Amino acid sequence: MKVELEHLVKRFGGENVIDDVSFSVETSALALIGSSGGGKSTLLRMLGGLLPATSGSIRMDGRLVPKTERECIAFRRTLGYVFQQGNLFQHLSAQENIALVLREVHGWTKEAADARAFELLAHFGLAEHADKHPSELSGGQQQRAAIARAVAPRPKLLLLDEPTSALDPEYTAEVLDLTAQLRGEGIEFVIVTHEMAFARDVADQVIFMDGGVIVEQGDARQVIERPREERTRQFLSRYEESSAAGSEP
């Protein structure tokens, strides 16, 4: 995928959350890192057509991300989304959570949707939990089901917004391992993450954001292990200290 931003601005209540950002990157796995409130999740939602730009433009593989709601609906159908809490429908089984979206959003038949849903649950180690509701699943299982739902229609790109932020270390490892597996299967993604080892080892490119601007971008291992900018070094140093203390930076 090729992502191009030109003078992108997103303003909430008079404050620029994304502040005149321009960059171009070609990658199959992009990680957005930085402190909370730095603009990462806002940028991810703008890439996915969930938030319109105040000004500026975004191109994904040369295609301008639309700004009208009508055009955005069609654009969103080409992408898969995974959010912090998974956002599974609590009244539906894991299998029906996946099948419903395939039927109602993408026009699949019931038979094809059910088969695809079970195929993915089995692939992600959830076959025996297909009939369970989200409340009967662990946090890691819920996120795996949410990822299965996101990739079910075979999207061009998967967008993940801190999918492990609400999980304990064991379930965090589950979800990150699954994301790495998807990368190995050729699925392209952009992920907002606080997991620096994952960003270093699985992403091709990393963007470090702070205060609504891009402070540093480049090869994932270079940015994480040999950052060029002092602000990046400060963030990573604080991250290491926070990780040692068991908290987020």
Region 196-216 average pLDDT = 96
Region 151-171 average pLDDT = 91
**Does position 122 have pLDDT exceeding 90, yes or no?**
yes
**Does position 123 have pLDDT exceeding 70, yes or no?**
yes
pLDDT tens readout for residues 65-90: 998 888 898 899 999 999 887 789 99
C-alpha atoms less than 13 angstroms from C-alpha of 188 in its C-beta half-sphere: 15
Extended beta strands in the chain, E state: 2-12, 15-26, 29-33, 55-60, 63-64, 79-82, 157-161, 189-192, 205-210, 213-219
Name the pLDDT band for 20 (thresholds 50, 70, 90).
very high
Q: Is 65 in contact with 27 (CB distance < 8 Å)?
A: no
- Residue 203's contacts (CB-CB under 8 Å, 6 or more residues apart) are 27, 29, 30, 31, 191, 220
**Mean pLDDT rounded to a whole number for the chain:** 93
pLDDT of residue 247: 58
Pairing of strands 157-161, 189-192: parallel
